[in-house]
């Protein structure tokens, strides 16, 4: 037996240092002193016999070993939370505890509220928190992979590929539409407004095939800003349905026809969290989105995967 014990407080210290990028900042987050963090990290490194952080003027950056330790540490901490929550609640059916959701902006605004309402109605002891994450770079899936969230609402096909160690499923497919100021005679002649997260490769291909689409002349910060620009008459945009829910009356939405591009929205989570009662309850509610409710979303349940009873590793 090597008998190396890492206390939860030590794991939290590792995670804080990695996320804050320095001992001092980590100390602030942990509500302790820089000295305590330094002592703790040094102690852990001595116990493990491995240097976990490169120190320097810049602060502290994880070494490869440190990155592994931090990633595992986050998962262990999360499992400890699950232990506490599921030990306290009388049965697995009784779902309780925190549930951290990462979502991109439009999903957080238009997709999640009704889902979370039903979820908390069914499980009052559940405390879901939603973090808005830019769907660029690692995106929401990255937040889940790094243990910052328990479940992510992600767009598939757009942005970076999903890390292989995550599991998930597609929830719905939504079309892109043309949005422009209401009553404009020739909206396609307007300048194009684009935004950062709007970068599906499939969409881009379709985009390039349309000769009427100009290169973007305006680039906004997020889809909400795009919509506000369009409603002010500054131009037109091509946006997914989710970003267009609740679009102001001064805008007009035009279908792009049968060849319109679409994007897939789904959820991702880690295998070990997929089994927890809280995540499963949320996934159950999210699946309801696949059944076409009378409202807007053009859900396409056709492509639902046939699931084997046992999932391969």
Partner DNA sequence: CGCATCCATGAGTCGCCCTCATAGCTTCGC
Partner DNA sequence: GCGAAGCTATGAGGGCGACTCATGGATGCG
Minimum distance of a second copy from residue 87's CB (angstroms): 4
Residue 165 interacting entry, from DNA, a second copy, none, C-beta within 5 to 8 Å by type: a second copy
Contact map string, positions 252 to 271, toward DNA, x by CB under 7 A: --------------------
Minimum distance of a second copy from residue 76's CB (angstroms): 5
Residues 85-114 that bind DNA (CB under 7 A): none
Residues 221-280 that bind a second copy (CB under 8 A): 266, 268-275, 279-280
Half-sphere exposure of 276 (CA within 13 A, CB side): 28
- CA distances (Å), 12 to each of 18, 73, 261, 272, in order? 10, 8, 44, 19
Among the listed residues 35, 54, 55, 83, the single contact to a second copy using CB under 8 A: 83
Tell how far CA 227 is from the center of its chain: 22
80 scored as a contact of DNA (CB under 7 A): no
Q: For the stretch 254-286, what's the b/e string if a residue is b when 16 or more beta carbons lie within 10 angstroms of its beta carbon?
A: eebeeeebbbbbbbbbbeebbebbbbebbbebb
What tokens appear for 257 in the block? 């026809």
- Identity of the residue, 36 or 256, whose beta carbon is nearer to a second copy in the bound complex: 36
- CA distances (Å), 119 to each of 113, 136, 175, 226, 281, in order? 10, 28, 27, 31, 7
Minimum distance of DNA from residue 262's CB (angstroms): 46
Minimum distance of DNA from residue 1's CB (angstroms): 16
**What 3-state class would DSSP assign to 187?**
helix
Contact map string, positions 43 to 72, toward a second copy, x by CB under 8 A: -----xxx-x-----------xxx-xx--x
Contacts of 309 (CB under 8 A, 6+ apart): none
If binding means CB under 8 A, how many residues of this protein chain bind a second copy?
60
Give the interface with a second copy as residue ranges (CB under 8 A): 2, 4-9, 48-50, 52, 64-66, 68-69, 72-73, 75-76, 79-80, 82-84, 86-88, 90-92, 156, 162, 164-170, 266, 268-275, 279-280, 283, 305, 307-313
């Amino acid at each position: 037996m090597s008998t190396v014990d890492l206390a939860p407080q030590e794991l939290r210290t590792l995670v804080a240092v990695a996320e804050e990028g320095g001992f001092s900042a980590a100390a602030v987050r942990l509500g302790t002193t820089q000295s305590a963090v330094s002592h703790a990290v040094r102690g852990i490194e001595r116990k493990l016999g491995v240097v976990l952080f490169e120190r320097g003027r810049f602060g502290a950056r994880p070494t490869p070993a440190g990155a592994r330790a931090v990633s595992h540490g986050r998962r262990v901490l999360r499992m400890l939370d699950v232990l506490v929550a599921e030990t306290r609640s009388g049965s697995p059916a009784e779902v309780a505890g925190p549930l951290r959701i990462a979502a991109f902006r439009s999903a957080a605004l238009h997709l999640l509220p009704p889902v979370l309402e039903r979820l908390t109605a069914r499980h009052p002891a559940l405390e879901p928190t939603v973090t808005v994450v830019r769907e660029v770079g690692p995106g929401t899936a990255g937040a889940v992979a790094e243990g910052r969230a328990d479940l992510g609402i992600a767009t598939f096909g757009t942005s970076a590929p999903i890390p292989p160690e995550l599991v998930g499923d597609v929830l719905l497919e939504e079309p892109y539409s043309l949005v422009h100021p209401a009553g404009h005679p020739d909206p396609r002649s307007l300048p194009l407004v684009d935004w950062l997260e709007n970068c599906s490769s499939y969409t881009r291909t379709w985009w390039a095939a349309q000769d009427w689409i100009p290169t973007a002349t305006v680039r906004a910060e997020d889809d909400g800003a795009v919509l506000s620009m369009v409603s002010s008459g500054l131009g037109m945009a091509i946006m997914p349905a989710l970003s267009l829910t609740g679009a102001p009356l001064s805008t007009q939405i035009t279908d792009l026809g049968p060849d319109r591009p679409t994007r897939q929205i789904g959820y991702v989570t880690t295998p070990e969290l997929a089994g927890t009662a809280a995540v499963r309850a949320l996934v159950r509610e999210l699946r309801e989105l696949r059944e076409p409710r009378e409202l807007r979303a053009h859900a396409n349940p056709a492509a639902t995967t046939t699931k084997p009873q046992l999932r391969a590793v």
